[in-house]
Structure 1
C-alpha cells in the first residue's frame, strides 16, 4: 500500500534591510538541493507567488502564507534562513500552523568587513529559536552547515522521515483481529489511552470474519486467487505443506488484506496461533506477505507491537518491509549477538538470497539478509509511553526453524539490561537501515520517552 506524500511548506526568510540579491542566491541554492531529496516522497509548497523572490520578510505577508499552507494541508514546515532572517515572520507562520517545523541556515562564508556586511545567518537562527520557543513551536534543527554538504542532505532526509512517523501515528487505524492469547498478559495495551494520547484508533475484526471471507474466496476460485497461489509456488518450496493448506493460506491472506482495506487500517494485530482452529491454517505466512504489501501485522494481538511496525514503516517511507521478532536466545559464540526469531511471519522480501524459502506445516522458514538493522519497541507502563531504539547489524549464526536473523549490537549486555528493566516485552520491531536519530526525534514530537540502547540504564547484578 503506497504511502501519501509528505506535504512540506517552505517559507524562506531574510532580514528586511539585508541584501535581497544575496538572499535570493542562497534561496536558489537550497531550494535546488531539497527538490532533489526524496522527490517522489515529498511535495514542496513554496511561497513564490506571495512574496518577493519567494522569501518572507514582511509581517503583512504572514496571513497569506498561512492561508496557502492551510489550504495545502501541509504536514510540516521548513523555514530556512537566507541570512539573519526575520524571527517575527518565521515564528509567526510556525505558531499558527502548529506542524513539525525545521530550522536551518547555510554556513556564512566570512565575517563582516569594512567593505561589506555578511549574512549573520547563525546569529539570526539563535534569535529565531528563542522566539519559536516563546510561541510554543516544536521544531527540529539541522546544524549550521553548507547547503551542498552531506550534513544538510542527511538532516533534511531525517526530518522528512520524522514527519512521516508523526503523520502515521496521529492518523493510525489498527485492525485488531481477535483477543490476545490467554497466556500472554505481556501484550495487554490500553486502547482508550492510545486514542486519547495519540489519536490511534483500534478497529476490532473477528478471526471468524477472516475465515468466512476466505471460504468465499476459495469457493469463487477467481483469477486473483489462482495467480497468487501460483506466485507462492514459484517463490517458495511448499512440499512440506499440503496443497489445500497452501491454497487456504493464499485465500486467508487475500481475505485479511480485503478486511484491512475495507476498514481503512494500515497495520494490524493478529491473535495468530490461538485462532488457527477458527481460520483453518497458521496465519504466519499471511503476516509476512501482508508486510510486503505495506500492511504489517503483529503477532499475538500485540497492539503496541502494531504501533511499532507502523513507526518502522513510516521511517522507511514504505520502501522496505519491517518485521516483528521474538527476543529468544544468545548467540552461542558471539556475546553481542541475539536471535531475533518468530515461527514464520517475516516478509519474503527480506530473505537472504542464500537462504532457501520453505513452507513447513504452513509456516515460513528462512533467514533474513545481512545489513544494518534498526531495532525499536513502542510500549507503556503506568500511563507513560516509551520508545526503545538502537542500531546493529545482521551476522552469521546457526540455522534454526521459522524466520530469523542473528542481530549483533554494540554491547548486548547493556541492551538486555535496558529491555529487562524497561517497560518492554519479548517483541521488538526491526527495519533495515540506520534510523535511531529519526526515532529519537519522532519520540520528542510525540511525547514519548526515548530509550537509547547505546546509553546505560539500570544495571543487572
Structure 2
C-alpha cells in the first residue's frame, strides 16, 4: 500500500513569541514523526519560513506550491498559539483533501507580565474562516501533543484520510458477472464513476481459467514453493486430490496476476456459478488474496468490493478483511450473529487454537477472538451510505466453512437497521476498532454514515 502524503503547516500569530511557538512545534513534530511512519510521508515547510512555522501571508503561496508539487493526500494545520486565520485558510482552501486542525492545550492564562498563547481562542476563530472558505476539516480537542487524546485522534485521522485516498481513482476488477438469482448485488457502474471516480474493470472468467492452466502447465518454482507452503499450513485436506490442490494455488496466482495487470486494488468475483469453467471453486483463492492485500468480494458483489477497498485502506495494512454472509442468530446468545461464508476467509485470521484445513475447495476454520468492525458501502435510489459498527468474536457452535460468531451490544437493533437498509446480507469484517475513522471518511466522501441506533426504524 502506498503511503499517505501528509502536508504539515504549523501556524502562529505574527506578534506572539516565536520561542514559545517553536517549543510547541518541536514537541508535536517529534510526536507525529513517530506515529505510523510506515504509512505516512510527512511534507513540512521547514525550508519555506522561519522555524517552519507559517505566520506571514507571503508563506501561503510557497506552502501551497510545495504541497501541490508533493501531491499531498491530506493536510494538517497544527496551531502553535492563536495562529493566523488568513494563513490557515489561505493554505487549506487550495486543496480538497481531508484537513486536520489541532493545537496544544495552554497551561496558564494571560498575566500582567506576559501574554499567553491563546491557542483554543485562535482555533475557534480560524475554523469559522475555514468553514466560510469551503474547507471540510477534522478536529482534535485541545490536548497535549504527548497524550493519548492527541495520538488516538491523529491516527484516526490518518486512517480516515487513507480511506478517502483509496476512493480516488479506485479501480475494481469485476471478474465475471453475478449469479442470476442475486438481484441484491446489483450496482450502478455509471453512478460509481460519476460520484466517486470508481472504475469497474471487466475481467472474463475465461481469462482466470486460462492463466491458471498456463501456470499449472509451466509448473514454475513459484508455484511449487507456494503449493508446499500452502499444504504445510493446513491441518487436513478433504475431498480434494493433489492435482486439485495445485490447481487451487495456481488459481490464486492467476487471479492476482489478472487483478494487478489491470492496476486494481480490489475485486468482485463471480464464484460458485462458474465452477465448471474454473475447474473448481475460488473460495480459498479469495482468502489468500485478502492476505496479500487484495480483498475480493464473493458472488459478483461490486458494492462489497468497494466496501473492502475502503476497509483495507482504513486499517493501514494492520489486518486482512473477510467478506461474510449474515446468516443466523446464535442459538443461546441473543446478541450474537453468525458471520459465515462457504470458505473464503483469510487464513491469517483463523483461531490458532483450532484446526484449519480445506474441504472440497473451501476453507474450513473458525476465526480468532478479538474486536471486530463490520462495514458495508451500499446505495439505493442514488443515495449512498457507509454503514459501520463494532462488536467482538465470541464462542458458539461449530459449523462448516469459514465463520465467526459476532457479538454486539444489541443485535435486534443491528438486525432492524440492516433489514430496513439499504443493505444486503453481505458485509465486510476486519479485526480492530475502526468505526470512528469510517464515520469521518463518510463525511469527506459526501455519503451518509449509518450505524445501529442512528435514525432507527424499528420492527413491529
Equivalence for 1:444: 443
Partners of 1:353 and 1:99 in 2: how far apart? Answer: 41
- Specify the SS of the correspondent of 2:450: strand
Q: Write the deviation string for residues 27-73 of structure 1: whole angstroms up to 9, x where unpaired.
A: 00110110110011111111010010100000011111111111111
- For residue 234 of structure 1, what is the aligned residue in structure 2? 232
C-alpha contact 1:370 1:394 (8 A) present in aligned 2: yes
1:432 CA drift (Å): 0.4
- Alignment of 1:324 with 2:323, yes or no, is yes
Q: Tell me the matched-pair count.
A: 459
Instruction: Tell me, in whole angstroms, the C-alpha distance in 2 between the residues paired with 1:130 and 1:422.
Output: 36
2:39 aligned partner: 41
Whether the 8 Å CA contact 1:414–1:456 is kept in 2: the answer is: no
Distance in structure 1 (CA, Å) of the matches to 2:208 and 2:446: 36
Q: Any idea what SS the aligned residue of 1:429 has?
A: strand
Alignment of 1:187-336 (within 5 A): 187-236=185-234, 237-336=236-335
Distance 1:94 1:233 in 2: 53
Q: Which runs of 5+ in 2 are unaligned?
A: none
Contact kept? 1:95, 1:137, Cα under 8 Å: yes
Show the 5 A alignment for 1:119-158. Answer: 119-158=117-156
Q: CA deviation at 1:281?
A: 0.5
| Structure 2 partner of 1:52 | 50
Q: The residue matched to 1:386 in structure 2 has which SS?
A: strand
Aligned 8 A contact 2:238 2:360 in 1: no
The secondary structure found in structure 2 opposite 1:387 is: strand
- Trace 1:379-398 onto structure 2 (pairs within 5 A): 379-398=378-397
- 1:96 is paired with a residue whose SS is coil
Q: What's the counterpart of residue 174 of structure 2?
A: 176
- Indicate whether 1:414 and 2:416 are aligned: no
Aligned to 1:68: 66
In the alignment, the residues of structure 1 paired with residue 169 and residue 28 of structure 2 have an alpha-carbon distance, to the nearest angstrom, of 31
Deviation at 1:213, TM superposition (A): 0.8
**Structure 1 residue 99, shift from structure 2 partner:** 1.5
* Residue number among 28, 31, 37 corresponding to 2:29 in the alignment: 31
Q: Which moves more between the two structures, 445-454 or 281-290?
A: 445-454
TM-score (norm 2): 0.99
Aligned partner of residue 93 in structure 2, secondary structure: helix
Structure 1 runs of 4+ aligned residues shifted over 4 Å read none
The CA distance in 1 between the partners of 2:24 and 2:249, in whole Å, is 55
Distance in 2, matches of 1:72 and 1:220, equals: 43
SS of 1:92's equivalent in the other structure is: helix
TM-score normalised by length of structure 1: 0.99
CA offset at residue 98 of structure 1?
2.2
Residues 344-383 of structure 1: matches in 2 within 5 Å? 344-383=343-382
What is the DSSP-based 3-state SS (H/G/I as helix, E as strand, rest coil) of the residue aligned with 2:94?
A: helix
Distance in 2, matches of 1:27 and 1:7, equals 19
Matching residue within 156, 162, 165 for 2:163? 165
**Distance in 2 separating the partners of 1:150 and 1:364:** 40
Work out the CA distance in 2 between the residues paired with 1:97 and 1:197. Answer: 19
- Report Cα offsets for 1:399-447 as digits up to 9, x if no partner: 0000000000110000000000010000011010001100100000001
CA distance, structure 2, for counterparts of residue 101 and residue 140 of structure 1? 6
Name 2:85's counterpart in structure 1. 87
What's the CA shift for 1:101? Answer: 0.7
Alpha-carbon distance between aligned partners in 1 of 2:451 and 2:141, rounded to the nearest angstrom: 21
- Alignment RMSD: 0.8
SS at match of 1:97: coil
Measured after TM superposition, the shift of residue 454 of structure 1 is: 4.3
Does the aligned pair in 2 maintain the 1:90–1:128 contact within 8 Å?
yes
C-alpha distance in 1 between matches for 2:19 and 2:227: 63
Quote how far apart the aligned CAs of 1:456 are: 5.6
CA-CA distance at 1:319 after TM superposition: 2.2
